[in-house]
Amino acid sequence: MHMISLFQIIVTAFALFALSRVILRAKDNVISKKEALVWSGIWVLVIALAYFSNSLSFLEELGGARRPLDVLLTLGLIFLFYLNFRLYVKLDQVRSEITQIVREKALGKKK
């Protein structure tokens, strides 16, 4: 019989909380159904990885790390940097659009 670790409990609790937020945002139409499906899949995958991390030994060879978790954390960090970049680009785009709208409003122009 396999004992559930504190790590698995914490990961499961957090992932279920995040999954509930995804469902609520989808219900309120803040995110699309497609986005909700992707994020739900991610959080379900996080829960699965917490319980089946022993079956990830192939990642040791793939990533050249001592433990599969090291490879997952590295890939997760790379993914977070990418998302941060995408968010920065989108934020800069929104800032430019707001500046343009305010400029046109101040000068009394209409599109």
Q: What is the pLDDT of residues 61-97, one digit of tens each?
A: 766 767 777 777 777 888 899 889 899 999 999 999 9
For residues 36 and 79, is the Cβ–Cβ distance under 8 A?
A: no
Please give the model's pTM, rounded to 2 decimal places.
0.66
d(CA 88, CA 99): 16
* pLDDT score for 63: 64
For residues 56 and 73, is the Cβ–Cβ distance under 8 A?
A: no
96: left (phi over 0), alpha (psi -120 to 50) or beta: alpha
Q: Could you state, in order of their start, the residue ranges of all structural domains in the chain? A: 1-51, 69-111
* pLDDT score for 10: 92
The first and second tokens of residue 27, run together, are 């219900």
pLDDT digits (tens, 9 = 90+) for 35-51: 999 999 999 988 988 88
Which pairs count as long-range contacts for 34-40, CB under 8 Å and 24+ apart, including other chains? Answer: none
